Amino acid sequence: MKPGRSLVVPAILLAVLAALALGQRAIERAAAAQNRGGREAPRFEVDPRWPTIPDSVTMGEVTSVAVDRNDHVWILHRPETAPAVLEFDGSGRYLGGWGGPSDAYEWPAVAHGISVDYKNNVWIGGRSPDPPTDDMLLKFTAAGELLLQIGRRGASGGNADTMNLRQPADQFVHEGTNELLVADGYGNRRVIVFDADSGEYKRMWGGFGNPPVEGTAGQAESEPLDATGPGPDQFTNPPLEVTAVHCVTVANDGLVYVCDRDNRRIQVFDLDGTYRTQMFLNRAAESRRSASRVAFSPDPGQRFMYVADFNSRVVIVERETLEILGAFGSEGSGPGQFQGIHHLATDSDGNLYVAESAPGSRVQKFVLRGMERL
């Protein structure tokens, strides 16, 4: 063999191997692009002009927002010059308001969560930790007439009490069973279920479907939470100042979603309290708080879940897989930014309404602008 030829063969071999490697990478890139092309998520745009607030109304610290069957938007706030409950139409026009302390019922000292059920009744709870604590839920007509009060102020006997709540954070009425599910809450660590008409107790459960137990003065708020593993067996420990079982809602398929905000997770259950699965949100973040409320896209299968993340963003989740698809928002006071993101809701067109407590003290509307590929 000639010396020159012995050098040519390895060079050709190296060139072939290099070409094969480049081809493999091209195939991988094409496959990845194809996979990305098949995935999409909703795209939103803030409407900086929503809502139109009359000069006679000064909005206080906003705590919650809900959307009724007519796509009217209900806002609960700790008022200044306006009634505690404000109603707007989808365009942002103010329709009126009502609520606040009355001799007819025990209005919460610290109003917290509002929801509107399938019969268009309005539910309101509170979270005052100062004695006598807010241990009740109120049910009103859309015109503000009291229909039902569950629990009494300052009467809670703890997690075993089936008559009273303890600073309930959120509530949802499931149409299929006419049951009221309560995220209870800032003082207890449970989901508790009542008949939505009579207020009769049905059942309760805690984290992973376990029986709820009383909290103890355990982990200090300054200590980090575990960043691995399944997390605590119970919902958030109430002795911490800001802890809360912070949301509950039911999807069209009957799955119950519960925000265990200060354990930075959402747990999913059957209606009877059987545990199904969970997802974590910002688990390694410095803030103890993340998932504050969830809402769903309005399609029959409710493909997307939107999570109000206390860390100044709305997180978009594929509901079936609990995969995070994206997020929007940042810390700030400008349009589309958040300060104290707290609750959110969707209307029948898929638009989002996001409530900010202090210091934001507002509700922003995010208009659905279609889908975008990931």
pLDDT digits (tens, 9 = 90+) for 92-119: 999 999 999 999 899 999 999 999 999 9
pLDDT band at 140 (very low <50, low <70, confident <90, very high): very high
Give the length of the chain.
Answer: 374
How many angstroms separate the CA atoms of 292 and 48, rounded?
A: 23
- Please tell me the predicted confidence (pLDDT) of residue 75: 98
Q: Which helix (H) or strand (E) holds 342?
A: strand 341-346
Alpha helices in 206-317 (DSSP H): none
pTM (two decimals): 0.87
* Weakest-pLDDT range from 54-58, 123-127, 168-172, 273-277: 54-58
- Please tell me the predicted confidence (pLDDT) of residue 323: 98
Mean pLDDT score, 338-357: 97
- Please tell me the predicted confidence (pLDDT) of residue 20: 43
* Weakest-pLDDT range from 232-241, 335-344, 349-358: 232-241
Alpha helices in the chain (DSSP H): 3-37
What phi-psi label fits residue 225: left (phi over 0), alpha (psi between -120 and 50 degrees) or beta? Answer: beta
- Residue 219 predicted with pLDDT over 50: no
Instruction: Name all contacts of 273-276 with Cβ < 8 Å and 24+ positions apart.
Output: 273/191, 273/203, 273/204, 273/205, 273/209, 274/209, 275/208, 275/209
Q: What is the CA radius of gyration of the chain?
A: 25
Distances (CA, A) of 170 to 21, 61, 286: 56, 17, 25
* Alpha carbon 20 to chain centroid, angstroms: 49
DSSP secondary structure code for residue 11 in this structure? H
ω before 185 within 30° of 0 (cis)? yes
Mean pLDDT score, 217-239: 62
Tracing tokens 């071999």 back to the chain, one arrives at 13
- Please tell me the predicted confidence (pLDDT) of residue 289: 79
Mean pLDDT of all residues belonging to the chain: 88
- Please tell me the predicted confidence (pLDDT) of residue 16: 41
